[in-house]
Structure 1
Amino acid sequence: MPKTRGRVKRQRICPWCSLSFSKEEHLSRHIRSHTKEKPFGCVTCGKTFSRHDSLLRHGRVHSTEGKDGQTFDIRTSSLEAYGNSDQILGGSQSPSVENDMDQVPSFPTHQTPASSLSPSQHAAASHTQARLPVWLETIVQPPKNAQSQINAQAPLFTPLDNIFDSSIEDSLHFNPYSQVPTWLADEHFDLNALNSSVMASTLGFFSPDYTANEDSTDITIQILGEPHSERKEDQVRQLWFTYVGTHKSGYITPEATQEQVELDEQYRQTLSQRLQQRVPTEPLPSTDFLNLCIQLFFTRFNPIFPIVHAPTFRPSAKSSLLLLSICSIGSLFVGSNYAVTQGSIIFERLNKAILASWEKYLLSGKGEALAMTQAALIGQTFAMLSGKPRNLLIVQTFHGTVATWARIYKMFKVRRATDYLEAHLQTRSPEESWRTWAQSEEQVRLAAGLHILDTEISELVLTHPLLQHEESLLPLTGSHELWVAANAAQWKIALGRQQDRSSLNQDNSNAVVAESGTLPLDTGLPDGFQRYITLEGINARIAETRTSHIARDQNMSTRFEYQLIQFFDQYLHEKEDSPTNDPFCLEVLWHSAFISLLVDFDRLELAIGREGFEESALYRQYAHQWAASPNARRCALHGAMILRKLQTTPLGMEPAIHVPRALYRAATVWYAYSEYGLDVDPSDLATPPTANVEFPEFSRLKINSQALLFEANGYRTSRPKTSESSTLCGLVDLLHRIGHWGLSRKFAEQLSFLLKETQS
């Protein structure tokens, strides 16, 4: 007979210490050693135990003390204690409980009809029920709807068996901008100490978690009393990436519920319970999982948003919040649904922890305040890119608070970390100088990250920026060569090279400025992050002009066009055409800035259906007028260039955080261009609509505008129908596939519905 394949035993992993067990009951017993839970209670004296066999031994004491022959079934109480344990952990009954049910009789008080019991059994059941303590009666006889609420709860623990849907080699993508922290890969790194340190430093700082019967904190998207609308714009409104729902009244008045209006003892106790904080018992994921998330953060996310200095970063109790924030966003790159879920849980807990403990960290010193503000900034970025409308509300609400923390410690005052470094180098060692510079540079880059996030939030929700983005106020970050130096020796060499280049360029800088009016191009390593801040500053000033209700005159548009073209000549004109040299996707952001300048996106979104049918009717005329203007063709050209640029980006390269928004705007202008514009037959006109159209920015790109628009229109001189636009469909398809951001998928869902409606 052929040999049968050996059965592989499934291992059950402890979420606290990652020990594995072959049986479920062994894992449950081990978990109680972490939680210090004692679910097995004696119904006679109320004493509790952590093990079932300990309760059985304790029961013999009461059995020998009985004088009238009345005994109780100790196994029954242990079964109900098992049920209570499952309710606390938020999961269903484990297999070990189901096995025990075959051996342990259930309570006859609520599971066995009284008519089927013998007189002796009925007397024993009545006696047992009479002796139950009050706290146990609520377990044995829960309310009618309690069991359904318990079953509806999602389990808090998920086994770690399937977290690696893809190999680590596929997840890790290294590029010249990535920094792998060597302390993570060191064989002497204590992962258990890391997890213990993080948990110990964050316990007690979480806001209260209410039970299932409390009011839900999630915002419902159901509109009370409003009938289902078949209008396209109303359906688009409910799919919009910022839509969280509202409650309307007037159609149907809901039945009034009886509310307690008297201030009695019960009300006081309920209020006291609401004010008490409960330390969460659920653990963090395993230390191996946290280790992987940290590595993916520094290799995938930190290169495109470099605000944490990897060579000097070490996990500690002071940086515990920052470490958790790093793990939350690093989980997005693991490649499994479990990892994304764990990252969302960490983000929600971390957000509560920061809100509950920010005073403690601000008063502890600048180092702790910097780490907390970094954690909040990374968490804000996670929330913005998650694609959840509720998280986007958190971003808008919390953004001003994070900026205030940065202002308290004057993080916007230091524009350059090397301003006072020369005197420091003469009095201290290179190691101490390097670490001092690293902390100052992190402060500068934190301010730069807040400027970037402020611009992105403003562009997403079309609000006024909170920060001042004048070019003279923008932070000046250090060069990439200094930032990635692995130790003090490499950093000092890079600093010497930078000083040599500065002295060589100093003689020629005045002549260049006098001749062209622009700053000289840096001859050192490309400092993409500084260019990123500069370009986002132009975007912010465009948004500020739009939201301040200043008339869009030709002089203002010309001024911003000149700034964008100047930026291209200075930084993008002679750049090598390689995606690895542009981790910040500056060309995509540059084209998106022109779109922001050439269309009132607020009115265009309203015309599409952001606020429903009634608001859409008010702005549809603007959409038709804009779609027939040269600005519409110009925006369509920039949208086509965004698609062309991102299609050449390697699949393994992570796009910058503004890429989802840039793709969304390009797809939206193409939808309006093809949906609201007139499809005129060129044979009916003496001059085709695309003839003699050349725009200055495309002349700098050495691209023929007419040929590009002809290709983007599907090799036709007139604009295509919305459902037949290959450019629009390509942009939506790219939103489905690019990066790990949920925001991209939310944009794709919204635009896919619009495409579907135009085809029907």
Structure 2
Amino acid sequence: MPQANGRWTCDAEGCGRSFSRHEHLQRHVLNHAEGDHTCERCRAHFKRPDLLERHLARHRQKDAEGGTLMTRKRLWKTSEGRVVTKRPALEEQQSNSAVNNSYQAPALPLSPPGSSSDLTISPTGSNEATTRLVQQPDQAESFGDPFLQDSLDDNFFWETTALSSGPEAAFGSGPFDDIFAPDTASSFNMPYTTASNYNWLFDLSLDPSMANTGIQQSTAVFSQFTTLDSPSTAPHTRQPPQAQMVPMHSKQAQNQPNAVAVKQLDALPSPQQRPRDSVIDDASPIFPPSECPMSLLNQKQKLPFLDELTRERIMDVIEHARPTLPDGSVVMFDNPRLSLPCMQTYLDLFFTRFNVAYPLIHAATFFPPETEPILLTTIVLLGATYDKDSHQLAVCIHDVLRPQIFANPAFSAKPELWVLQAILLTECLGKSRGGQRQHDMSHLFHGLLINLIRRSDCQTVQPESLVHSDADVASQWRVWAEMEQKKRLAQLCFVWDVQHAVLFSQSLCMSAFELRSTLPCDQAVWEADTPQAWMEAWKSQQHSPPHLLAVLKTYLTTHVTKRANLNAISRIILLHGLMSVSWDMTRRDQTSLGLLGNGLSAGSWRDRMAKAYESWKIDFDHFAASTGTNLMRCTGDLEAQQYSVQRFESFVAAYAALYHAAQLILLAEILDLQIYAGARHILGRSVSRTDYSRSQKVVKRWANEDATKAAKAAWHAAHILQASVRHSDSEIVVGDLFHHAWTLILGTLTIWSFYHSRPSSQTEDDEPIWDAKEHMHQQLHFMTSASPETLTTVTPAAGKKCTAGLTSVVVSSLAKIRWGVIHDGTSVLKGLVPWRLISEDDGRML
């Protein structure tokens, strides 16, 4: 009988454990009995039949993946019937019998590596039902303690699902258990990547360039998660795994995109170059577009609305923080820039400028009157930074807002979603929309946000597991929206963390291996404004979102020729995943003795990363060409169409620039480039004369003794700038994506350093540059048209002065950006320009 508190208590002597449900107690009692449940394959011994069945299900799952079950059981049964604590050796006859009697499935991809190497791999496959825990599958078995299962049962529920070959089978972290948790230390030290992580990710055993014989196995891990249906396939149908991947020697593989395809794509006129009639053919018009990065699919969609009462709640937060303006006055309730119409404008700017670039807040379920005032304040302030006249006011309020978040009763070691969103948006404003002081303060609290995310379920949440057509759609929609926002919060935080580590040489705080979730859903699903529209959009998806890590691996497995048809934001997250791996490999390269594990030498990984970036770019170019064509074909509001195309072009330019910046950073030390160009502060530290002398030697050695690498870096730098030049007037256009302006600075510094550090055979002259834009255009055309090798042998006619026009135009274009870090970078570039040689007609706009 239950006790007065409603708990069921175990009567076994010396136990005393209690449970909230009677069935949990019944299952627990079996742990005190002399159970006799043994796995016939590996001789693992269990006291309860449900634990044995779960163990067998994991065997079947590993068989389907072509891997080995790495269990950490403490009890085993020998062939004589004795229960021992050390695993007995499996008899050869028994192993052979299991193999011979099993279904010989086609070769499947290798599964992630485990912590042991003495286990027999069985090719047995099965589609029987398996039991999984929604949040942490098989934890009890993993730790080898049957009593641990009781506490889990008391807090979670088990559900039975069919083991599928589609992405739905990957919702749990089960397929990645062995990579993330080969031992207890690794399980609880998520920020630190292990050798097994990278052995699995790079998987050199599958690389044709590393072997003398052809690879007969399937070409990607979990290919059933990443190689999905073509558009003509009915939703939620799957091909057999063995039919999805194409061997490299097949004709189909030879027709896949390659470097030549990229050049052909680059040769095509961009959307702004093509006349509108040239892209509209006799095909049926597409409206609305299936995807429209950087803008809403439906630009007439109703945005969240503020009322006076909600404004008062925001003002209560602001007045309690007592922010002061530069003149010393306190921001008060009657400030004209904080009126209701102004706040509504800021909120609209947030959803039409920030949230379309970084889709973090689910607009359809965002209801201001029920939103926490602090979160609402951070949203309004971030929107205000897009208004030139209100930007400074927003920064002043931002300076005193962070303590209000920490003082809120909801702030804890495991805070609610809104607290994490408020901290992330506050950090985002400080790092990317504020001055140097705000940037430095945001860095100080960045680690706090990462730790809070790790304590939450944001990195492992699986929204797809909740979508069932037979349940209440409205309630499903809201729960799904919260879970999707959690997933996006972790992934967008990862994006910004990677950008500041790779582009700004900060420390990387979050590893790609921590993101054990699926990629974001499609834009139509995310922007559906009613439960019914959401369910309809979900069903119309070609496939459920695949696992992030499974797709990331395909870019580092060079013989994969076909990948999932990914949406825009998924492609961006994957690029940052590759950048994260590159940063971590650089760190390991600096601290290793020349060998990084699994035969991957300290030098070869850079070539592998460069090829992975190239594979990503090929896929991105195809996506950009297809999406751009669809946008031009859309019918309806011409003004809305033009706006969508313009925003999409800025999206393509910004991420093409980021791709080339990532390649550049593989080939050059960007801190040395900045110091050599005259930067006075790096990472908050003043640059000394010794620092400059060292960087000067490094850059000159790089440009002359390692000229091939330097030329490739300069070639990528030229493409960064070329992607951002508007063809109509040769203006450099910078959109709303925060990294874009900094990549332009890095590209300009690289080109200047390359030419300034090399000897010039041309005679320098003092003739002014009469047209800086034309001078820039000629420079970029020369560099992007030539091969990288040509840049080492051919010097532009102007010699070392050849970068003056380019640098002056970049300085003029970036001078308008209200961001402290960009202002500092622009000041460095300004010092590189011989302004006396720049025609006054060009105007410096400084």
Per-residue CA shift, 1:205-245, capped at 9, x if unaligned? x48999999xxxxxxxxxxxxxxxxxxxxxxxxxxxxxxxx
Distance 2:586 2:447 in 1: 20
Distance 1:350 1:179 in 2: 33
Contact 2:414 2:455 in 1 (8 A): no
Q: Does residue 379 of structure 2 align to residue 326 of structure 1?
A: yes
Q: Does residue 674 of structure 2 align to residue 605 of structure 1?
A: yes
Q: Does residue 516 of structure 2 align to residue 469 of structure 1?
A: no
Structure 2: which amino acid aligns with 1:465?
Answer: L
Who is 2:757 aligned against?
676
Who is 1:656 aligned against?
737
* Superposed counterparts of 1:366-445, under 5 Å: 369-386=416-433, 388-414=435-461, 416-418=462-464, 420-422=465-467, 424-426=468-470, 428-445=471-488
Who is 1:350 aligned against?
401
Per-residue CA shift, 1:376-430, capped at 9, x if unaligned? 212212111235221121121011111122222221122x421x124x543x311
Who is 1:446 aligned against?
489
SS of the counterpart of 1:333?
A: coil
Q: 2:572 aligns with which of 519, 524, 532?
A: 532
SS of the counterpart of 1:302?
A: helix
Contact 1:723 1:758 in 2 (8 A): no
Contact 1:594 1:638 in 2 (8 A): yes
Distance 2:789 2:354 in 1: 37
Q: Does residue 735 of structure 2 align to residue 735 of structure 1?
A: no
Contact 2:323 2:399 in 1 (8 A): no
Who is 1:300 aligned against?
353
Distance 1:401 1:514 in 2: 31
Shift of 1:181: 9.0
Shift of 1:599: 0.6
Structure 2: which amino acid aligns with 1:389?
Answer: Q
Q: Which runs of 5+ in 2 are unaligned?
A: 1-291, 595-601, 629-645, 680-686, 764-780, 839-846
Residues 381 and 446 of structure 1, relative CA distance in 2, 3 Å threshold: same
Who is 1:542 aligned against?
582
Per-residue CA shift, 1:420-452, capped at 9, x if unaligned? 124x543x3111111111111100100011101
Who is 1:91 aligned against?
none
Distance 2:755 2:782 in 1: 22
SS of the counterpart of 2:512?
A: coil
Distance 2:400 2:797 in 1: 53
Structure 2: which amino acid aligns with 1:195?
Answer: R
Residues 282 and 192 of structure 1, relative CA distance in 2, 3 Å threshold: closer
Q: Does residue 630 of structure 2 align to residue 570 of structure 1?
A: no
Q: 2:800 aligns with which of 718, 721, 726?
A: 721
Who is 2:537 aligned against?
494
Shift of 1:625: 1.0
* Superposed counterparts of 1:14-29, under 5 Å: none
Who is 1:560 aligned against?
609
Contact 1:632 1:673 in 2 (8 A): yes
Distance 1:713 1:608 in 2: 21
Deviates more, 1:748-757 or 1:391-400: 748-757
Structure 2: which amino acid aligns with 1:658?
Answer: H
SS of the counterpart of 1:518?
A: coil
Percent identity of paired positions between Structure 1 and Structure 2? 19
Who is 2:104 aligned against?
none
Residues 461 and 649 of structure 1, relative CA distance in 2, 3 Å threshold: same
Distance 1:475 1:377 in 2: 21
Contact 1:351 1:379 in 2 (8 A): yes
SS of the counterpart of 2:758?
A: coil
Q: 1:193 aligns with which of 309, 313, 321?
A: 309
Distance 2:396 2:405 in 1: 14
Shift of 1:645: 0.9
Contact 2:676 2:699 in 1 (8 A): yes
Contact 1:425 1:433 in 2 (8 A): no
* Higher helix fraction (1 or 2): 1
Contact 2:678 2:828 in 1 (8 A): no
Q: 1:312 aligns with which of 365, 379, 384?
A: 365
TM-score after normalising by structure 1: 0.56
Structure 2: which amino acid aligns with 1:285?
Answer: L
Shift of 1:725: 3.8
SS of the counterpart of 2:625?
A: coil
Deviates more, 1:562-571 or 1:708-717: 708-717
Per-residue CA shift, 1:146-171, capped at 9, x if unaligned? xxxxxxxxxxxxxxxxxxxxxxxxxx
SS of the counterpart of 2:356?
A: coil
Residues 666 and 210 of structure 1, relative CA distance in 2, 3 Å threshold: closer
Structure 2: which amino acid aligns with 1:306?
Answer: P
Per-residue CA shift, 1:666-705, capped at 9, x if unaligned? 01111211222222469xxxxxxxxxxxxxxxxxxx9996
Residues 733 and 673 of structure 1, relative CA distance in 2, 3 Å threshold: farther
TM-score after normalising by structure 2: 0.51
Residues 734 and 391 of structure 1, relative CA distance in 2, 3 Å threshold: same
Contact 1:304 1:656 in 2 (8 A): yes
Who is 1:69 aligned against?
none
Contact 1:710 1:716 in 2 (8 A): no
Who is 1:614 aligned against?
690
Residues 313 and 715 of structure 1, relative CA distance in 2, 3 Å threshold: farther
Q: Which runs of 5+ in 1 are unaligned?
A: 1-172, 214-277, 683-701
Shift of 1:324: 1.4
Distance 2:342 2:325 in 1: 28
Who is 2:717 aligned against?
639
Structure 1: which amino acid aligns with 2:506?
Answer: T
Shift of 1:180: 6.3
Who is 2:662 aligned against?
593
Distance 1:405 1:742 in 2: 27
Shift of 1:574: 5.3
Per-residue CA shift, 1:185-207, capped at 9, x if unaligned? 7xxx5631121122345665x48
Distance 1:407 1:391 in 2: 24
Shift of 1:652: 8.6
Residues 462 and 600 of structure 1, relative CA distance in 2, 3 Å threshold: same
Shift of 1:731: 3.3
Residues 211 and 734 of structure 1, relative CA distance in 2, 3 Å threshold: closer
Distance 2:306 2:807 in 1: 51
Who is 2:199 aligned against?
none
Structure 2: which amino acid aligns with 1:575?
Answer: A
